[in-house]
Structure 1
Amino acid sequence: MSALPVESLKTRLENVIALARLLERVERSSAPVGADQYRALVRQLGRALAQDLPTDALSAVLGAHPAAAELYENMHYEQAGLSRSSLDRSIGSEMFASQVLAKAARRA
């Protein structure tokens, strides 16, 4: 990471945190959100996550905000795949899919 003014870095981190919190609230809310509003929020958070941020701070934000972590993972899928996804969750999903397929095969 290049040397950055502390205030600039602080402002960018605060922005990422605020947007990540907002996305988390939107994702968990039962209230309807317009598609354009949702896309605008995701675009804005995506731009914020694409900025040069300290690795430790970014990891902390992504660890605390699963929706932002998923967006970040999708942004970097080409380079890293599903590197932020929990292995247990991935294995559980794969096992569930196998069970569903086996059940469907038995019915056929």
Structure 2
Amino acid sequence: MNATPSKAIPDRLAVVVTLAHVLEQLEASRTSVGADQYRSVVRRLADELASVPADSALRAVLDAHPAASQLYENLNYRHAGLCRSPLEHALGAELRAKEAIERARRR
């Protein structure tokens, strides 16, 4: 499990870390998770992510919690694109999208 040392977490990120951890647990759960429960955690985490500055402490939390990182990236996509994805993955996705658009235009 991903663990972020509590002594390195600023108080302002305590709720983000807790919700990020819960989201990781829901994502990894082998048992069925209710959609309302999942949406509730994601909605609350999204609200918290919107209220904290994008600094090195937040980046460390996101590095330790991939599901929260993906949520953060999706929330900020319109401003920063795939800001947390490795560049080669983002570039590959863009190239595949352009190829798909070209194939569709030719039809």
TM-score, L = length of structure 2:
0.71
Count of residue pairs the alignment pairs up: 89
CA RMSD of aligned residues (A): 2.2
Bigger mean CA deviation after superposition, 38-47 or 54-63: 54-63
Instruction: Within 5 Å, give how 1:6-25 maps onto structure 2.
Output: 10=11, 12-25=12-25
Question: Is residue 53 of structure 1 aligned with residue 53 of structure 2?
Answer: yes
Give CA-to-partner distance per residue, 1:32-82, whole Å, 9 cap, x none.
100011000000000111113360110000000000000000000001111
Judging changes above 3 Å, is the alpha-carbon distance between structure 1 residues 54 and 81 closer, same or farther for their aligned structure 2 residues?
Answer: closer
2:13, 2:52 within 8 Å by CA — same for their partners in 1? no
Instruction: Within 5 Å, give how 1:3-42 maps onto structure 2.
Output: 10=11, 12-42=12-42
Q: What is aligned with 2:102? A: none
Larger Rg: 1
Distance (whole Å) between structure 1 residues aligned to residue 23 and residue 59 of structure 2: 17
Bigger mean CA deviation after superposition, 12-21 or 79-88: 79-88
Distance (whole Å) between structure 1 residues aligned to residue 28 and residue 94 of structure 2: 24
Unmatched 5+ stretches in structure 2:
1-9, 97-107
TM-score, L = length of structure 1:
0.70
Unmatched 5+ stretches in structure 1:
1-8, 98-108
Judging changes above 3 Å, is the alpha-carbon distance between structure 1 residues 18 and 70 closer, same or farther for their aligned structure 2 residues?
Answer: same
